[in-house]
Amino acid sequence: MGRYLVTGGAGYVGCHLVLALMDAGHTVTVYDNLRQGHRAAVPPGATLIAAELADVAALNAVLADGPWDAVFHFAALSLVGESMKRPFHYLMENAALGIRLIEACVAHGVPRFVLSSTAALFGNPEHIPISEDERIDPGSPYGESKLMLERALFWADRIHGLRSACLRYFNAAGADPAGRAGEDHNPETHLIPLVIDAALARRPEIAVFGDDYPTPDGTCIRDYIHVSDLAEAHLRALARLEEGSVTYNLGNGAGHSVKQVIRMVEQVSGRTVPARIVGRRAGDPAILVAASDKLRRETGWAPRYDDLETIVTHAFAWRQAHPRGYDDR
C-alpha cells in the first residue's frame, strides 16, 4: 500500500481523491491551508496538516517525513474570472508556489507527481472534442499558471527524472455516491450547485450567462465529469507512470448546454428552476468537450457515472443534505 501527500486535499476534487485513495487502502496526508478547503472534508483516518504552500519550513518538514510514493497537487486558486482581475496573484499563488513545490519534491526524492491541470489551457479551441494535441493558448492567467506548472514538470522529468501526470480537468461535478463529500465553494460560482440552489429556493433564480452562442440552444456547452470518476482517473494515471510521464484531457467526451443542465435539475428535483438570461461572462468559450480516448486507451479508465442525470442526482442529494455545506465556517 502506498503513502501519498495530497495538497488541497480538503477541497472539492482533492477530497474525492483522498476518499478514493483511502478506499483502496492507502495512507494519506492532506496539506491544505483551509481557505477554500474544509476541515470536515478530510475523512477520518487521513492526516491533515493545515499550512500554507508558501510556508517553506512546513512544506519541507512534511516532505522530509517520507518516503512518499507520490504527491498529488490540487492546492490552487481556480477562478478564471478572478484571475483576469488579479493576474499576478494567480501567477504567484499557482505558478510560483507550485514550481517551488515541484522543486522541493525533487529535493526530497519524491518519485511521482500528479497535477490538477485544466481545460482552460485551450482558451477558444479550434477542434471539438479537444484532444491532447489541440493548440495550447490559455485564455486567462489561471490557465497560464497551470501551463507553467506543466512546463516545470516537463523539465523536472527531463533533468531530474520526476515522473508526472498532468490531468486537464473539464467540468468537475456531482458528489461522492455514498454522500461522504460534495461541492461547497464560498462563494459558489459553478453552474450545477447554483441551479440546485435555485431549485431549492435558496436563491431566487439562476442567471444564464448568454443565450447567443453558436450552439443548438444558444447556451454554452460543457463536459461535466463526475468528481468520483475524476478521482479514479488519478489512480489510473498514477499507475501508468511506470511507463513514463503522461498528459491527459479528462472529461466524458459528451457536452451539455446550460439549458440542458437546468432541465435536468428540474427533472431530478421535481421543482421548477427560475432562470433569467443575462449577458455573457467574460472569457467563456462556447463549447468545451474533451476527447478522452487517450486516457481510456492508455489506462483502461472508463467513467462509471457518465450520464448527466446521475451526476445531478448525486450533486442534488449532497446539497439537499448539507444546506450549509460542511458547516465548518
> With CB under 6 A as the contact rule, which of the stretches 84-92, 98-106, 205-213, 235-243 interacts with ligand UDP?
205-213
> With CB under 6 A as the contact rule, which of the stretches 24-32, 47-55, 58-66, 186-194 interacts with ligand UDP?
186-194
Identify the CA nearest to 30 among candidates 9, 58, 14.
Answer: 9
Q: What is the DSSP secondary structure assignment for residue 245, as one 8-state letter?
A: -
- Tell me how far CA of residue 255 lies from CA of 25, 95, 173, 287, 316, in angstroms: 34, 30, 13, 8, 20
Identify the CA nearest to 68 among candidates 59, 57, 55.
Answer: 59
Coil, strand or helix at 72 = strand
Task: Select the residue whose beta carbon is closest to ligand UDP and give its number.
Answer: 220
> With CB under 6 A as the contact rule, which of the stretches 2-10, 29-37, 160-168, 184-192 interacts with ligand UDP?
184-192
Contacts of 212 (CB under 8 A, 6+ apart): 218, 280
Q: CB-based burial of residue 16 (10 Å sphere; 0-12 exposed, 13-18 middle, 19+ buried)?
A: buried
Nearer to ligand UDP, 158 or 202 (CB): 202
171, 245, 247, 269: which one binds ligand UDP (CB under 6 A):
171
Position 222 contacts ligand UDP (CB under 6 A): yes
Q: Which residues are tagged catalytic? A: 142
Print the binding letters for residues 77-96 with ligand UDP: x by CB under 6 A, - otherwise. Answer: ---x----------------
Nearer to ligand UDP, 85 or 281 (CB): 281
Residue type, 297: R
Nearer to ligand UDP, 95 or 119 (CB): 119
Distance CA 235, CA 2 (A): 11
C-alpha cell of residue 71: 504527491
- Tell me how far CA of residue 257 lies from CA of 76, 82, 167, 230, in angstroms: 27, 23, 23, 20
Position 292 contacts ligand UDP (CB under 6 A): no
Print the binding letters for residues 240-269 with ligand UDP: x by CB under 6 A, - otherwise. Answer: ------------------x-----------
Least separation in angstroms between residue 191's CB and ligand UDP is: 4
Least separation in angstroms between residue 154's CB and ligand UDP is: 25
207, 271, 298, 322: which one binds ligand UDP (CB under 6 A):
207
Position 172 contacts ligand UDP (CB under 6 A): no
Position 38 contacts ligand UDP (CB under 6 A): no
Nearer to ligand UDP, 274 or 300 (CB): 274
185, 190, 294, 322: which one binds ligand UDP (CB under 6 A):
190
Contacts of 248 (CB under 8 A, 6+ apart): 132, 165, 166, 167, 168, 233, 237, 292, 294, 295, 298, 299
Position 128 contacts ligand UDP (CB under 6 A): no
Least separation in angstroms between residue 18's CB and ligand UDP is: 22
Q: What is the DSSP secondary structure assignment for residue 131, as one 8-state letter?
A: P
Position 132 contacts ligand UDP (CB under 6 A): no
Q: CB-based burial of residue 260 (10 Å sphere; 0-12 exposed, 13-18 middle, 19+ buried)?
A: middle
Contacts of 269 (CB under 8 A, 6+ apart): 196, 199, 200, 316
Catalog residues that contact ligand UDP under the rule CB under 6 A: 80, 171, 189-191, 194, 206-209, 220, 222, 258, 281, 284
